[in-house]
Each structure stands twice: as C-alpha cells, then as structure tokens.
Structure 1
Amino acid sequence: MRALIVEDDMASRIILAKILSEQFECDSAENGLQGVEMFKNALQDQEPYDLIFMDIMMPVMDGQSALQAIRELEDKNKVPIGKEVKAVMTTALSDTKNVTEAFFSGQADAYISKPVSREKILNALKEVRLVE
C-alpha cells in the first residue's frame, strides 16, 4: 500500500514516515500544492495512494484546499466510490472550526492532533480501516 505525507514540518514528516513505512510505501510533500501534484501524478500513473496524512495549516496551499483539490481529482478521474484515498488530517490546533471544515468540506476520514505519536497514528489507521 502507498501513503502520501503532506506536512511542512520536517520533524513531523520524519516521524510519520518512520511509523507509516512499517506498513506503507511512503512519499512526502512539503506543502499542499506539491501534495496535490504528487497525488495527480500517482493517479495518472495508475498507482494511486491508499492513504494521505495531511497537515491542515501549511504555506503555499493549506491542507483544506489540498484535500478539496484531491477529492475533485478523484471525481474527475472517476475513482469508484469506496476506492477514494483515506485522508487523515493533522493539526496543532484544537480549533473545532478547522476540524469540522476538514471533515465536511474536505471529506477527511480521520483527524489527529499534534504532536503525532505511534499510538495516535495507529488509532487513525484503525479508524479508516487500513489496519486491524
């Protein structure tokens, strides 16, 4: 399975990659725009990602906008219902407005607060049904 980590903080990218690489082939992007491009290329190469861990607050393009763009790419490319990428949003914010927006506007599948930890990551993977 393939995972895309979209995170502007290098330390968070490293932690996520270390934990996720136990079960996923991982790629990473430093901002939402780069993440959308990588997602688009993976779809075109017919090697779509199964999972995205994406920070909500990033420079260039925030996680909300990036996830919206990714969901639009899935629609445009006629990704079957149920085969969409599982999106886990991460944030240092305890701001319910951003979390609510991530779920409803961006169609996120799960959410974790920073700092990320093995336990939080594994719980999110269980929540999106990618591990038991």
Structure 2
Amino acid sequence: MHFLIVDDDEASRMVLMAHLKHYGICDICGNGALAVEAVAKSLNSGRPYDVIFMDIVMPGPDGHETLEKIHALEKQAGIAPENRAKAIMVTSMDDEDNTMTALFEDGVSAYLIKPVAKTELVTKLAALGIVEL
C-alpha cells in the first residue's frame, strides 16, 4: 500500500504516519503544491498512491484545490475515476459544509477529524476495503 499524507501541521503528519507504517509506505508533504508534485512523480514512476490523506485547510492551495489538481493529473495519466487514489480528508474543524463539499464535489471517500485515533483510522480504511480488521 502506498500512502500520501498532506498536512501543514507536522504533528498531524507524524501521527498519521505512525498509525499507517504497518500497512505500507508513507510519503508526507507539508502543503498542496508539494503534494501535486509528489503525485506527478508517483504517476510517472508507475507507483501511484493508493490513498491520499488530505488536510482541508492549508495555506496556498487548500485541500479542495489540491485534490482537484491531483484528479486532473490522474485523468491525464488515463486513470479512470473509479481507479484513482482514494482520498480521505482530514480536518481539525467540525465543519459540515467543508466536509460535505469534500465528499460530494471532490470525490472524497471518507473524512477523519483530528486528532486521528488509530482505531477510527483503521475502521475507515477497512470500510473502504483498503485494510483488513
């Protein structure tokens, strides 16, 4: 499994990485621009990401804008929407409008509220068929 964690908060990145290290390889980015570059490199190398954890609120391109750019790269690479990386939005806000936008307009598979508990993370990944409980 190949994961990308995108968050401007280092502590949040480290928590997710610690939770995910037993399930696969984790790459991390501190902003949306770096995430777009990482996805482009992964697509060019033939090792696309399976799951992208995306913070919603970040300086520069936010999670919505970044995900839109990532989907454009996947489309350009000939990846059908049903085969693109699963996107999981991660937010410290209990903001239903932002979350619903991410789920419906951005094609997000799930969302998690920070701080992310390992049990909640694994339950979400299992529900998406990514890991087994």
Query: TM range, normalised to the smaller chain?
Result: over 0.9
User: Alpha-carbon deviation of 1:122?
Assistant: 0.6
Name the counterpart of 1:106.
106
Amino acid at match of 1:77: A
Taking structure 2 as the reference length, the TM-score comes to 0.94
Q: Distance in 2 between matches of 1:20 and 1:26?
A: 7
Taking structure 1 as the reference length, the TM-score comes to 0.95
Q: Contact 2:75–2:81 at 8 Å: present in 1 too?
A: no
Matches within 5 A, 1:33-72: 33-72=33-72
Cα distance change of structure 1 residues 47 and 112 upon mapping to structure 2, 3 Å threshold:
same
Question: Which runs of structure 1 show a deviation greater than 4 angstroms over 4 or more consecutive aligned residues?
Answer: none
User: Residue 82 of structure 2: SS of its match in structure 1?
Assistant: coil
Q: CA RMSD in A?
A: 1.1
Aligned residues: 132
Gaps of 5+ in 1: none
User: Residue 111 of structure 1: SS of its match in structure 2?
Assistant: strand
Name the counterpart of 2:126.
126
User: Alpha-carbon deviation of 1:99?
Assistant: 0.4
Q: Distance in 1 between matches of 2:86 and 2:100?
A: 17
User: Residue 82 of structure 1: SS of its match in structure 2?
Assistant: helix
1:48-89 deviations in Å (ceiling 9; x for gaps): 010111110111211111111111111111113432101110
Work out the percentage of aligned pairs sharing the same amino acid.
Answer: 38
Amino acid at match of 2:65: S
Q: Contact 1:68–1:105 at 8 Å: present in 2 too?
A: no
Gaps of 5+ in 2: none
